[in-house]
Amino acid sequence: MNIYDIAEKSGVSIATVSRVLNGSDKVSEKTKEKVMKVIAEEDYTPNIFARGLSGESTRAVGVLVPDISDNYMARAVALIERRLHDKDYNMLLSCSGFRAEEKEEHIRMLLEERIDAMILIGSTYAGSDTKSHNTGYIEKAAQKKPLFLINGDVDAENIFCTFSNDYAVSLDLTKKLIENGRNRILFLTDSESYSAKKKKAGYEQALEEAGIAPNPSLMCHIRNNIEETVSYLEENHPDFDACFATDDAMAVGVLKYAMKHGVSVPKDLSIIGYNNSELALATTPELTSVDNKLEKICDDTVIRLFSVLSGNGFVPRRTSVACTVVQRGTTNH
Amino acid sequence: MNIYDIAEKSGVSIATVSRVLNGSDKVSEKTKEKVMKVIAEEDYTPNIFARGLSGESTRAVGVLVPDISDNYMARAVALIERRLHDKDYNMLLSCSGFRAEEKEEHIRMLLEERIDAMILIGSTYAGSDTKSHNTGYIEKAAQKKPLFLINGDVDAENIFCTFSNDYAVSLDLTKKLIENGRNRILFLTDSESYSAKKKKAGYEQALEEAGIAPNPSLMCHIRNNIEETVSYLEENHPDFDACFATDDAMAVGVLKYAMKHGVSVPKDLSIIGYNNSELALATTPELTSVDNKLEKICDDTVIRLFSVLSGNGFVPRRTSVACTVVQRGTTNH
DNA sequence: CATCATCATGTAAGCGCTTACAAGTCGTTT
DNA sequence: AAACGACTTGTAAGCGCTTACATGATGATG
């Protein structure tokens, strides 16, 4: 069933059918109705390849996410998908894992596909200032399609970034912990991502301002997983009176460890998580966490995406969104 | 940059370039190398539309999921994506919500796209036996592309289902609760899905076998959400000594409610969740839950999908996978 | 009534690929 | 040396659509 069949059955040419399909105004009402009727009867849908081949927009966006089973990223994908669907766009989702080579491969594969633009979630993509990050492949990809980074920051042509003020939030939270008398603050992170680095920098700055010497045994790089966090603590038994984790799963691990060993939270131990996921509500006491306004970040990204695609007007390349702290039972203030 | 450019630069015909691109074995090593070099130099990627238009497979599968931010479904998507990617397939992900009209619309949109098959996650799709479910649109969609249901069961041409033995597990678990002296068992569910119905049927059967009259105030239909479960219980204060929930989030809500009111778990209250999500490990005590072998279900689905696409041999339409119970701290046995 | 603008419709080229089939090359066999 | 087979390469048709341009129909105008 193709456009020729429809044309024949409605007694018009394929050009007319095409016009009807694309809502051109150069078709008489009578003809339009006639053709629409046949289309409906035959349950005909145009071949997307043929459409794409003749130069139209693909109406699809590629989304790359390191791990969709991570609640934070899943929420981001859900938000993005809704916005794209609203605009009749499809989403090609690829789950790359965290390694740069994997990402590069997934990006390549997505770019081979029918996409108008690409969204990269997760801040493993970092700015030119952060020397340790190899962003070359991202900049290369951006030469083919506009690229949108969520929680990333690469300052280059055709790359659009949205991220949150993690440094300021982390600095502020750590300071507050110190003001409340904590001075052995465990910092837990699971990645070398851009946002993780910003959080760490804020933490370190707060320590420095308070004159507390950074303690390497309190700055741990572990996997973002409840059980592995517990095992890590069981093995190393660090001496701490507060914990600041870059994701809620690790913070929950700390809480479980504390409860198991009879440490009173928040009296003798303060715990702060990040990303304000469902996990933060599962525990008793509930977890204090940072809400980094994922919905706003995603909306912002998709809005700018469509601005870029429609080509109208200037679109800012870098946008920052402010987090808020959600005070719950694992901290006092 | 198209196949003609590459052909010209390598001094061969477009047919040869195409053969190199598709890994045909009818190309001499020398020529292959020459062409590959040019392709690499020019960073050329074939146009997917042209490829698709000339009758090949689309190398893409549509996946429809009610809510990707649900951990269970996100895990399913992650597993499926990995398998598809392994085979060089792309995934078009659509998040429909739970209403049938929404699903229908999303299915239609996916079918307009370049997909070889479609996977529907979440058991809102049920068998012809379950009269209340309108499966007409699913059967219609299956006329266009092979359809794969995860946790669904529709017995029709071109529809392939994988589901778990929820009835047996539910029957067994409820019986065990009764054996342990519980007789006011709260049943919590969030949907009218096929698997939810099977779970409920097992629960009711166990009550009947034990001669316990079903109590409507103990069979609740609520939203699958920690906070809403807590609110529900605070409002209704049902009288129960055990709880069987069709998803972990609700079970966690019950646990929180119990802790808040000083009820001792599992001594005075047994709680069983379902889907064995990360939430089950966040609480203290940890949640007893049912592992319904999501990985196996997904693997099974994708394997059958590729069997169907490659067209070799008979592919069974319905497959059942056995769940296991993960005993943790919210039950005694 | 001839002329022309206006609008609706049709014709045909082209998008970039795959692949059946034709043609060419080369070494082997008779 | 002719004939053949095996392997490599090229030619050209066609996939189903969009769209520039050509054509045709209709009614208004001089």
Residues B127, B153 contacting (CB under 8 angstroms) = yes
* CATH top class, domain B60-164+294-321: alpha beta
Give the Cα-Cα-Cα angle A174, A323, A281 (nearest 5 degrees).
80
Which part of chain A has CATH 3.40.50.2300?
60-164+294-323, 166-292
Residues A147, A159 contacting (CB under 8 angstroms) = yes
- Measured CA to CA in angstroms, residue B223 lies from A65, A275, B276 at distances of 28, 23, 18
pLDDT of B122 over the 60 cut: yes
B200–chain A nearest CA distance, Å: 25
Contact A68 B67 (CB under 8 A): no
Q: Are strands A242-245 and A185-189 parallel, antiparallel or unpaired?
A: parallel
Fill in the DSSP letter of residue B288.
B
pLDDT digits (tens, 9 = 90+) for B140-163: 889 888 999 999 999 998 999 999
Measure the CA–CA gap between A326 and B267, rounded to whole angstroms. Answer: 33
Q: Residue A125 has what pLDDT? A: 59
Q: Is A88 on the interface with B (CB under 8 A)?
A: yes
Say which residue the tokens 């200032």 belong to. Answer: A129
Nearest-10 crossing angle of helices A71-86, A294-310: 40
Measure the CA–CA gap between B318 and A137, rounded to whole angstroms. Answer: 44
* Burial of residue A140 (number of CB atoms within 10 Å: 0-12, 13-18, 19+): middle
pLDDT of B293 over the 50 cut: yes
- Averaged pLDDT, B43-70: 88
Q: Residue A130 has what pLDDT? A: 47
Contact B90 A94 (CB under 8 A): yes
Say which residue the tokens 């069933």 belong to. Answer: A1
Q: Residue B201 has what pLDDT? A: 96
Q: Residue B126 has what pLDDT? A: 58
Q: Is B21 on the interface with A (CB under 8 A)?
A: no
Residues B322, B292 contacting (CB under 8 angstroms) = no
- Averaged pLDDT, B216-237: 95
pLDDT digits (tens, 9 = 90+) for B109-120: 888 777 889 999
pLDDT of B131 over the 80 cut: no
Measure the CA–CA gap between A228 and A240, rounded to whole angstroms. Answer: 18
User: Does residue B284 approach strand C to less than 7 Å at its CB?
Assistant: no
| A166-292: CATH number | 3.40.50.2300
User: Does residue B28 approach strand C to less than 7 Å at its CB?
Assistant: no
pLDDT of B108 over the 90 cut: no
- Written as six digits, the tokens of A289 are 């966490």
> How confident is residue B123, by pLDDT bands cut at 50, 70 and 90?
low
- Written as six digits, the tokens of B264 are 């001792």
pLDDT of B49 over the 80 cut: yes
Contacts of B224 (CB under 8 A, 6+ apart): B70, B190, B191, B246, B247, B249, B250
What average pLDDT does chain B have?
A: 91
pTM for the model stands at 0.88
- Parts of chain A with a pLDDT under 50: 128-132
Longest dimension (CA), chain A: 85
A37–chain B nearest CA distance, Å: 18
Sheet bearing A185-189, strands edge to edge = A219-221, A185-189, A242-245, A270-272
Q: Residue A209 has what pLDDT? A: 96
Residues of B whose CB is below 8 A from A278: 71, 226, 249, 279
Which part of chain B has CATH 3.40.50.2300?
60-164+294-321, 166-292
Q: Is B82 on the interface with A (CB under 8 A)?
A: yes
Q: Residue A134 has what pLDDT? A: 67
The CA–C1' separation of B26 and C30, in angstroms, is 29
- Give domain B3-53's CATH number out of 2.30.30.40, 3.40.309.10, 3.90.1150.10, 1.10.260.40: 1.10.260.40
Which part of chain A has CATH 1.10.260.40?
3-53
Measure the CA–CA gap between B309 and A259, rounded to whole angstroms. Answer: 52
Which residue places its CA closest to the C1' of nucleotide D12? B15
Q: Residue B227 has what pLDDT? A: 94
Three-class SS state of B195: helix
Q: Give percent of chain B above pLDDT 70.
A: 95
- Averaged pLDDT, B196-205: 96
Q: Residue B130 has what pLDDT? A: 47
Pairwise pLDDT comparison (A57 vs B260), residue with the higher score: B260
Q: Is A263 on the interface with B (CB under 8 A)?
A: no
Q: Is A284 on the interface with B (CB under 8 A)?
A: yes
Q: Which positions on strand D lie below 7 Å from a protein C-beta?
A: 7-12, 14-20
The CA–C1' separation of B280 and D5, in angstroms, is 69
Residues B108, A85 contacting (CB under 8 angstroms) = no
Say which residue the tokens 């409340």 belong to. Answer: A180
- Measured CA to CA in angstroms, residue A282 lies from A2, A32, A72 at distances of 53, 57, 15
- Averaged pLDDT, B318-329: 96
The CA–C1' separation of A17 and C4, in angstroms, is 29
Fill in the DSSP letter of residue A288.
B
3-state secondary structure A55-71: CCCCCEEEEEECCCCCH
Three-class SS state of A235: helix
- CATH topology for A60-164+294-323 is Rossmann fold (3.40.50)
Bridge partners of residue B186, in order along the sequence: B243
- Averaged pLDDT, B9-29: 90
- Written as six digits, the tokens of A253 are 């691990």
- Written as six digits, the tokens of B152 are 């669904």
